[in-house]
Chains A and B, each alone.
Chain A
């Protein structure tokens, strides 16, 4: 801590190159092992594999050598690059969130990666990979304290834990959600067995392959969402999760575009649901699919009461009253009519859709990017129309599915007007967390000491 306060340049932890190139190097080593023992073996080819591994490792070492960072009161500077020098100044006042990630290898060595995100950007602007865990947490606390205009030595304010997911329930929920697929496959297999016994062997083989392909999916869900904890911190909603590698990420409420509650068929009798949020701009997905938008899990599995509490917290306010589309919509949407409902108030809009799993999307109107009315041929015959409220992202929208056409046109106008008003008063909106008011984008910065 005192080391950081000195304001000089620091290097990353010496073990960083090992962690960074760890995966690639391990992969190459495994390849060498396989080719040495198996029948692919042709001595001499190891040489190239070895060279490849060395080059990767060397690259990581060089990267470590040329990377340095310093924190001088108002800015965090990160310099990196050997041939193309990249020097980055991150003004502390504009910091939006600081995330701490610990991949498996780093965690085993007691290291952590710090990701700094600035307001208004859509990706991690500064990454320090890796620091020791203690240094990462200290730096994080200092950055946040400086951001809020406090003495940098102030310890990080406490976060109020809102929910944590027990491991048993998580595993059960993942199994239940894959169970429906499993059931469908088994039914298909039985049908095949009864009707065309001749092809049973072939389809049975397919079934086994399907089952095997399911395993990694289940594993991924469990390993990323193990030990899931949601907490309310002054700078946003903090999510901690992970089995082998852990991630602590912070989602500022202001960045949330929409919340989605998903209730799959087999979860409903158990009183479970899942919450997802869409965030504009997230770390770690730098422009992979457009300007880095992402869907995050807010609650992998939990009781609807808890889910509603979390949704209220994220959106800020009470859910709007919902109403159902007219009965004639049954002809257009016979399989989903039982779930269809939608409603809005001055600040938010909510739409419920889904055939087998119920999906409730709730978004603040000030995040609306556009409002659309779509009328298909069947809908026109029934004089129905669907109104969409789009938020930033690939498929993020609240749908007023199959509304009466006469009301839909008025609804379109009203939603457009309401979202315009909501945008105007956006600076006032915000959910005051229990500890202290949320961070305004520009907070006066204390003079560097």
Chain B
């Protein structure tokens, strides 16, 4: 897959005087979480569409609607899988690299010294899967470094490390 190739191409360039950092991926449970989200959404849509079509135009229409919803769910599943796979982050000596996106591929390099604060959030669904999202904020609105689906321990470790590194290398505006 060309995405993988490109990603490796970038990471192969080591920083001068430092061992090449290894890119990490979100937890495998993120994929499980996305699967559950897609399944539930598709199920709800199928139920609603099936009932609606069944009441309005009979059983055949209901079956067609449910089939369409299932197909849509499969497509969403395929997209979600690629999206989850595309997400990776690399902690280097002085900056964090976050790669994401399938259709529009984005790669952000954020120096620790530019970090203003780190957010660790976990919504109800993420909490059910014991995951958390780490988000780095800089003074630039555009530099978005968000890593979803981290194990809780990893999220906490990353947060602490980022905060520590950010303090050590902080630079004024």
Measured CB to CB, the residues of A under 8 A from B are 120, 255, 257, 280-281, 290-291, 293, 366-377, 380, 388, 390-397, 405, 409-410, 412-413, 416-417, 419-420, 423, 426
Q: Which B residues are in CB contact (< 8 Å) with A390?
A: 138, 140, 142-143
Q: Which stretch from B40-48, B55-63, B103-111, B150-158 is at the chain A interface? A: B103-111
Check if B9 is an interface residue, CB within 8 A of chain A: yes
Nearest Cβ on chain A to B71's Cβ, whole angstroms = 23
Interface centre among A255, A368, A390, A394 (most CB of B within 10 A): A390
Task: Compute how far the CA of A371 lies from the CA of B6 in the bound complex, rounded to whole angstroms.
Answer: 17
Q: Nearest CB to that of B104 among chain A residues?
A: A376
Given A372-B108, A416-B109, verify A393-B171 contact (CB < 8 Å).
no
Cβ-defined contact, A370 with B108, below 8 A: yes
Q: Which B residues are in CB contact (< 8 Å) with A396?
A: 140
Cβ-defined contact, B141 with A409, below 8 A: no
Q: Nearest CB to that of B92 among chain A residues?
A: A416
Q: Which B residues are in CB contact (< 8 Å) with A255?
A: 173
**A-B CB proximity, top 5 nearest:** A370-B143, A392-B139, A369-B140, A390-B140, A280-B173
Cβ-defined contact, B173 with A395, below 8 A: no
Cβ-defined contact, A377 with B103, below 8 A: yes
Knowing that A369-B114, A409-B6, A417-B15 touch, tell me 14 more A-B residue pairs with CB under 8 angstroms.
A120-B173, A291-B139, A293-B139, A369-B110, A370-B111, A370-B143, A370-B145, A380-B2, A390-B138, A390-B142, A393-B139, A395-B142, A409-B10, A426-B172
Task: Compute how far the CA of A88 lies from the CA of B111 in the bound complex, rounded to whole angstroms.
Answer: 34
Q: Which B residues are in CB contact (< 8 Å) with A290?
A: 141
Choose among B16, B104, B111, B172 the residue that contacts A120 (Cβ–Cβ < 8 A): B172
Measured CB to CB, the residues of B under 8 A from A are 2, 6, 9-10, 13, 15-16, 94-95, 103-111, 113-114, 138-143, 145, 171-173
Interface centre among A392, A413, A419 (most CB of B within 10 A): A392
Given A120-B172, A369-B114, verify A391-B140 contact (CB < 8 Å).
yes
Task: Compute how far the CA of A354 lies from the CA of B110 in the bound complex, rounded to whole angstroms.
Answer: 26
Cβ-defined contact, A375 with B140, below 8 A: no
Task: Compute how far the CA of A410 lies from the CA of B14 in the bound complex, rounded to whole angstroms.
Answer: 11
Interface centre among B2, B6, B16 (most CB of A within 10 A): B6
Task: Compute how far the CA of A419 lies from the CA of B114 in the bound complex, rounded to whole angstroms.
Answer: 11
Task: Compute how far the CA of A410 lies from the CA of B6 in the bound complex, rounded to whole angstroms.
Answer: 12
Q: Nearest CB to that of A120 among chain B residues?
A: B172
Nearest Cβ on chain B to A160's Cβ, whole angstroms = 26
Cβ-defined contact, A388 with B142, below 8 A: yes
Q: Which B residues are in CB contact (< 8 Å) with A388?
A: 142
Task: Compute how far the CA of A257 lies from the CA of B139 in the bound complex, rounded to whole angstroms.
Answer: 11
Given A370-B143, A395-B142, A416-B111, verify A375-B9 contact (CB < 8 Å).
no
Nearest Cβ on chain B to A144's Cβ, whole angstroms = 21
Task: Compute how far the CA of A75 lies from the CA of B109 in the bound complex, rounded to whole angstroms.
Answer: 41
Cβ-defined contact, A372 with B104, below 8 A: no
Q: Which A residues are in CB contact (< 8 Å) with B138?
A: 369-370, 390, 392
Nearest Cβ on chain A to B87's Cβ, whole angstroms = 15
Task: Compute how far the CA of A255 lies from the CA of B140 in the bound complex, rounded to whole angstroms.
Answer: 14
Cβ-defined contact, A393 with B104, below 8 A: no
Task: Compute how far the CA of A279 lies from the CA of B110 in the bound complex, rounded to whole angstroms.
Answer: 20
Q: Which B residues are in CB contact (< 8 Å) with A413?
A: 10, 13
Q: Nearest CB to that of B105 among chain A residues?
A: A375
A-B CB contact pairs (8 Å), 10 listed: A280-B139, A368-B111, A370-B108, A370-B109, A370-B145, A371-B109, A374-B105, A409-B10, A420-B94, A423-B111
Cβ-defined contact, B105 with A370, below 8 A: no
Q: Which A residues are in CB contact (< 8 Å) with B111?
A: 368-370, 416, 419-420, 423
Choose among B94, B106, B171 the residue that contacts A426 (Cβ–Cβ < 8 A): B171
Cβ-defined contact, A397 with B113, below 8 A: no
Cβ-defined contact, B105 with A410, below 8 A: no
Cβ-defined contact, B142 with A372, below 8 A: yes
Q: Nearest CB to that of A405 among chain B residues?
A: B6
Nearest Cβ on chain B to A390's Cβ, whole angstroms = 4
Q: Which B residues are in CB contact (< 8 Å) with A291?
A: 139
Q: Which A residues are in CB contact (< 8 Å) with B10?
A: 409, 412-413
Cβ-defined contact, B106 with A373, below 8 A: yes
Task: Compute how far the CA of A426 lies from the CA of B6 in the bound complex, rounded to whole angstroms.
Answer: 33
Nearest Cβ on chain A to B141's Cβ, whole angstroms = 5
Q: Which B residues are in CB contact (< 8 Å) with A397?
A: 140, 142
Nearest Cβ on chain A to B97's Cβ, whole angstroms = 9
Task: Compute how far the CA of A377 lies from the CA of B143 in the bound complex, rounded to whole angstroms.
Answer: 21
Q: Which B residues are in CB contact (< 8 Å) with A405?
A: 6
Task: Compute how far the CA of A409 lies from the CA of B171 in the bound complex, rounded to whole angstroms.
Answer: 25
Task: Compute how far the CA of A144 lies from the CA of B18 in the bound complex, rounded to whole angstroms.
Answer: 46
Q: Nearest CB to that of A293 among chain B residues?
A: B139
Nearest Cβ on chain A to B35's Cβ, whole angstroms = 25
Q: Which B residues are in CB contact (< 8 Å) with A371?
A: 108-109
Q: Nearest CB to that of B9 among chain A residues?
A: A409
Q: Which A residues are in CB contact (< 8 Å) with B172?
A: 120, 426
Q: Nearest CB to that of A371 among chain B residues?
A: B109
Task: Compute how far the CA of A50 lies from the CA of B15 in the bound complex, rounded to whole angstroms.
Answer: 70
Task: Compute how far the CA of A423 lies from the CA of B111 in the bound complex, rounded to whole angstroms.
Answer: 10
Q: Which A residues are in CB contact (< 8 Å) with B114?
A: 368-370
Q: Which B residues are in CB contact (< 8 Å) with A366?
A: 171
Nearest Cβ on chain B to A424's Cβ, whole angstroms = 9
